[in-house]
Structure 1
Amino acid sequence: MTRFKVAFAGILCFLALHGVAFAGSYTDFFRAISNDDDGTVRSLMLRGFDPNTLTEEGQPAISFAMYKGAAKCVRVLLLSKHLNVNQADMHGDTPIMVASALDNSGWVAALISEGASVNRPGQWAPLHYAAASGSLKAVQMLLDAGADINAKSANGTTPLMMAARENKAEVARYLLQKGADPSVVNQSEYNAAGYAMRAKNKDLAMDIMKKEKALRDSRSQANASTKSS
């Protein structure tokens, strides 16, 4: 019985020490990211620390590193074969969405090369965020990787609407050039031209409306042709 008590006490001691060690590693890991200390982050991961660990606020480590501008730590995390590049935070934002929102096309490219998803049907997608941030390079990369140019969020908002709403005229015109549909109306009963007007960019609103008219005329001609044949 005494031996059992001693053994049991030893197990409890081990578990307690292990817990303390993990708690210390957790603190060290995120402190290192905050300081862009890639050496410590690399060392902890080599010792088995999970790169997918969330912050207390529910952010994946890589998203946390991006928000902190910890470029060296982002690079180290991306090199980990255990990293889940599609891990979402408490708001549902994935790392590539964070990179797009931060207008960092280098991170967007790296995440795409690691297999990050560029489409999220029925939800906010990376292209929405890239359009809203005015990141033309990120928009181009995402489209090249197969992103849906007319992706709709849960309330029916498209990337073109986001670009217009945030007055990112260059991106809005690029999306139009690449085939974005300007006729879509979301649940707030706004289309892209309406958002451009709200942003007080009449020139952009006019360009969107011209594109919408051309699209409407083209559809009418196609319908007429179908009926006559």
Structure 2
Amino acid sequence: MTEVGMMFQKGINEFSARGSITKVCLAYLSQLDEQRPAREIRAEFPLAQYSARYWMYHAGPVEVEKDVQESILDFLLQPTQAYAVWRKLFDPDRPWDEEMRQYGMMATPIYYTSLAGLLHTVELLLKEGADVNAQGGQYGNALQAASVKGNKEIVQLLLKAGADVNAPGGHYGNALQAASAGGNKEIVQLLLEIGADVNAQGGFYGNTLQAASAGGNKEIVQLLLETGADVNARGGLYGNALRAASFHSYKEIVELLLETGTDVIAQGGSYGDALWAASTGGNKEIVQLLLEAGADTIPQGGEYSNALWAASARGNEEIVQLLLEAGANADVNTQDGHYGNALQAASAGGNKEIVQRLLETGADVTAQGGFYGNTLQAASAGGNKEIVQLLLEIGADVNAQGGEYGNALQAASVKGNKEVVQLLLETGANVNAQGGPYCNALQAASAGGNKETVQLLLEAGADVNARGGPYYNALQVASAGGNKEIVQLLLETGADVNAQGGLYGNALRAASFQGNKEIVQLLLETGADVNAQGGVCGNTLQEIVQLLLERGADVKVR
């Protein structure tokens, strides 16, 4: 009788079941061919993926059993392909990655068992002579892997075996930063007692204090500061610990860092300064704390350039008000950052109340710059009719050129914001204004697949045959996009079916290249010249067909 059969005969329980499952999974993986692609293995061996993903999960509670230990060691240390097959099918560092791309070199067994918390297996591997400081894996080495996962007993075991507590490398740079990021105070304490460098630089967060601050663990932050962590150390994702805590809204940690003497106006990292980070995070109390501590409302940096623009873009009216009262109104029209100014940021975010407040503070509605070029284009792209109306009443230039879409009308058209398009036209927007990536509003609406907007623009006098831009005309844009109804509408309005120019050369080539059979049929019925030349894509397609014919392709084969 097989082992599984005997198990059922005696009566099954979770402990014995996990032991049997572990051994079966390992035996199954050991029979697979390393040379075969992972997709073939998965297709032919249905249990391969399950075995690769879950053997460690089942082994955890039962690795104390001698027979399970022997199976694990045989699997990890055998001079065959089993270990490589397992890693081909599953990466414990990236359990979500079904595609199993190779990120760096494959780590050693002691790394993966430390990561998984297999204490007894780690101990056995060390007795077998495993290199405790071997490099590899997402976390660099076994000590960092065990530290980030909170496996204290394994950390102790590795340190006793000679693991370098300050070994650099891996995602977090060192074990202390990993433990701090993981929120494991006991491991942090242990590493510090062994001699971990509290101010070591490197890794995702730059330093340990920033990692703990970003993780929101006040006790670890306190411990690190008491051990001599530099409260103003720079580097990493957030630039420093204060910005990390401010961005994630950890008020108590912000207070602790401020009490310790952190520089409240320090610049750096992806988040500008602490006030910018807090404004982006949306925590009014922290913004107030920072302002009381001397934070400057005017310095610039980061995606939103300064705190006022960050709060405006995020739609946090209370923080905007607080910043303006603190003196940010003096900087309300300064140009910089992704959106150029606070008014454009608020308009893009769709917050009418903030737009109104900024205008009352003196924001310039005609200011140029930023991603959208001007505030009206930002609001038009966002589809907020009330903000567009407000800006127009204040004096925004409806035909101002520049920015991502060339002008406000083109921005509203490509986004399909019909009501905004109507409002802009009623206010005097030039329906045939040239500029931007689509050359004109009609092309933009055609590219966006917005039939009602196309109809509205045509009724307002849009030139159906206007030329320019990479697609040359609206018909070619619509044909490439596969929108039959818009193509039909443009043709009925007088679009020239044989107009030459642009990326595809003409509408027929555009539809053909994209494989839009119905549009090809419609264009042919309307008189499209099937032999017309031109266009980069069209010529390439013709050359391929010619090559196939020269090589003997039979045009009669179906």
Q: Given the superposition, is the C-alpha separation of residues 158 and 32 from structure 1 closer, same or farther in structure 2, using an over 3 Å criterion?
A: closer
Are 2:363 and 1:49 aligned?
Answer: yes
The count of corresponding residues between Structure 1 and Structure 2 is: 195
Q: Given the superposition, is the C-alpha separation of residues 131 and 21 from structure 1 closer, same or farther in structure 2, using an over 3 Å criterion?
A: same
Match of 1:108 in 2: 421
Structure 1 unmatched runs, 5+: 1-18, 215-229
Mapped partners of 2:401, 2:372: distance in 1: 9
Match of 2:441 in 1: 126
Match of 1:78 in 2: 392
Q: Given the superposition, is the C-alpha separation of residues 182 and 78 from structure 1 closer, same or farther in structure 2, using an over 3 Å criterion?
A: same
Are 2:409 and 1:96 aligned?
Answer: yes
Q: Given the superposition, is the C-alpha separation of residues 160 and 200 from structure 1 closer, same or farther in structure 2, using an over 3 Å criterion?
A: same
Mapped partners of 2:478, 2:433: distance in 1: 18
Give, in angstroms, the shift of residue 30 of structure 1. Answer: 3.9
Match of 1:178 in 2: 493
Are 2:336 and 1:23 aligned?
Answer: no
Structure 2 unmatched runs, 5+: 1-326, 335-340, 530-558
Give, in angstroms, the shift of residue 171 of structure 1. Answer: 0.4
SS at match of 1:97: helix
Give a deviation string over 1:119-166, Cα, whole Å, max 9, x none: 136981111111111111111111111111101005671100000011
Taking the TM superposition and a 5 Å limit, the aligned residue runs for 1:1-229 are 21-24=329-332, 28-57=342-371, 59-80=373-394, 82-91=395-404, 93-120=406-433, 124-154=439-469, 157-188=472-503, 190-212=505-527
Give a deviation string over 1:80-136, Cα, whole Å, max 9, x none: 3x1101112235611000001001111111100000001136981111111111111
Mapped partners of 1:122, 1:99: distance in 2: 14
Q: Is the 8 A contact 1:25 1:44 kept in 2?
A: no
Mapped partners of 1:181, 1:152: distance in 2: 11
Give, in angstroms, the shift of residue 67 of structure 1. Answer: 3.4
Give a deviation string over 1:162-221, Cα, whole Å, max 9, x none: 00011111101111111111011104462111111122111211111221259xxxxxxx
Mapped partners of 2:435, 2:507: distance in 1: 18
Q: Given the superposition, is the C-alpha separation of residues 92 and 35 from structure 1 closer, same or farther in structure 2, using an over 3 Å criterion?
A: closer
Q: State the structure with more CA Rg.
A: 2
Q: Report which stretch shifted further, 30-39 or 93-102.
A: 30-39
Match of 1:217 in 2: none
Q: Is the 8 A contact 1:65 1:74 kept in 2?
A: yes
SS at match of 1:76: helix
Q: Given the superposition, is the C-alpha separation of residues 120 and 105 from structure 1 closer, same or farther in structure 2, using an over 3 Å criterion?
A: same
Q: Is the 8 A contact 1:181 1:212 kept in 2?
A: no
Q: Given the superposition, is the C-alpha separation of residues 122 and 101 from structure 1 closer, same or farther in structure 2, using an over 3 Å criterion?
A: closer
Q: Given the superposition, is the C-alpha separation of residues 35 and 139 from structure 1 closer, same or farther in structure 2, using an over 3 Å criterion?
A: closer
Letter in 2 for 1:99: A
Q: Is the 8 A contact 1:150 1:158 kept in 2?
A: yes
Q: Report which stretch shifted further, 186-195 or 141-150.
A: 186-195
Q: Is the 8 A contact 2:352 2:386 kept in 1?
A: yes
Give a deviation string over 1:12-33, Cα, whole Å, max 9, x none: xxxxxxx963413665534533
Letter in 2 for 1:78: L
Question: RMSD between aligned alpha carbons?
Answer: 2.7
Give the structure-1-normalised TM-score.
0.74
Q: Flag the structure with more relative contact order, 1 or 2, with Cα contacts below 8 A and sequence separation at least 6.
A: 1
Q: Report which stretch shifted further, 182-191 or 51-60.
A: 51-60
Q: Is the 8 A contact 1:36 1:72 kept in 2?
A: no
SS at match of 2:494: coil
